[in-house]
Amino acid sequence: METSAFPPSQKMPEHGSPWPDLRVALQRRQERDVKWRQRRAFGIVFPVNDELDQIIEQANAEFFRLSTHHPEVFPSLYELERDVVGICAGLFGAERAIGNVTSGGTESIFLAARAARDMAQRVKGVTAPEMVVPSTAYPAFAKAAAYLGIKVTRVPIDREYRPDLNAMRRAISRNTVFIGASVPTITHGVIDPIVDMALIASDANVWFHVDASLGGFQLPFLKRLGVAIPECDFGVPGVTSLSADLHKYAYSSMGASVLLHREAETYEFQTYALSDWVGGTYRTPGFLGSRSGGPIGAAWAVMNYLGESGYLRISDALLQTSRRLVAGINAIPGLRVLGNPLTAVVVFGSDTLDMRSIAELMEQRGWSGRPQRDPPSLRLLLAPRHGEIIDAYLHDLSAVAGLLTHKHMSVVM
């Protein structure tokens, strides 16, 4: 139920109301929302436990009214953001990488694409910029291109949901300024071939961005747990920039991502500066001017509270939950998991059952999942607490699949 504009629905009240009454009114507004605290939602909120929720809320509250736009007034936020960026740089294989915390994965991709466009214009004289991404790339790539005047070429995928590398090579022209990849894709949970794509980008002297919004805080820890994770970060030569969402598997508060550059010379093109303004020099590292310090404070608190051992423990539990879910789905007649998921992104479809009906019937039972079109499938992004409800989910899914199978057989007969 997304909308781009809201018709008038309420006028400013003549007199204010007591907060207890307003709180009750707010809680009533949530009655039709998916019960995410009961672990019924997938891919929207990523709770770990009640204790960490309290830490996030308290850390966010300490800084939510402070703006990063004024580091001279709030040096604490500068220091916190520097620490978060440093932690991420070390985690993603480039301790000297530089960058910023952004409002989310979309802004991170937007900034990387803009920097690539402007750098190509200055260095190569490109005036008709083009972007090449797999067809599985998150829509934020196309959205950024639309805002920035960049032509997009989407490369088809193969039967394993990986981009056709030969088609990618053919799609690159002298106007190509940006190549994007995902680790993993949100559509199928597949890690794009970063080593091969980085080589293609390097041969063409093109900016290569890795969107690790989902995998950034999963893959490094899964690798340490012995999972065969392919190289997919700054350890791969040719990766120019990388982004990872902090409000997903870093388990921070909503509205936080990190965008990192391998080299300072590319970061220069991310920032915006106006030097001849009557109010003095105006300079921002991202799209937003005033950024709330709340998400930064929360991210810093979570990372330092959990530490490497905490993330490893959570990643291990999440891995076991994912494997239980995959095995359970594959055991249900008529359903199959697509690909070989290495992370907490699990996508399943069917050769005989209508997946939209599956999604609708599961929603009627209180479960929220994302139906996909090509191929027809249902996407689940697991969170740590989903381990508590996997058996209940599989029970309902099996019942729904059995009901549809029976109807299908009745129609055929």
Which of 78, 75, 72 lies closest to 285, judged by CA? 78
Distance CA 71, CA 285 (A): 12
Residue 51 CA to residue 46 CA, distance in Å, equals: 14
Taking every pair of Cα atoms in the chain, the longest distance, rounded to a whole number of angstroms, is 79
| Angle at 248 (CA atoms; ends 244, 254), nearest 5 degrees | 100
- For residue 68, the model assigns a pLDDT of 82
pTM, full prediction: 0.92
- What structural domains and CATH numbers belong to the chain? 65-302 (3.40.640.10)
Q: Which has the closest alpha carbon to 139: 378, 372, 383?
A: 372
pLDDT in tens, the chain (413 residues): 555 677 777 888 889 999 999 999 999 998 887 776 666 777 777 878 889 999 999 999 999 888 888 788 888 999 999 999 999 999 999 989 999 999 999 999 999 999 999 999 999 999 999 999 999 999 999 999 999 999 999 999 999 999 999 999 999 999 999 999 999 999 999 999 999 999 999 999 999 999 999 999 999 999 999 999 999 999 999 999 999 999 999 999 989 999 999 999 999 999 998 999 898 888 888 888 888 889 999 999 999 999 999 999 999 999 999 999 999 999 999 999 998 899 999 999 999 999 999 999 999 998 988 889 889 999 999 999 999 999 999 999 999 999 998 775 554 44
pLDDT of residue 411: 45
Reported in sequence order, the residue ranges of 21-167 that DSSP labels E, i.e. its strands, are 98-102, 130-134, 151-155
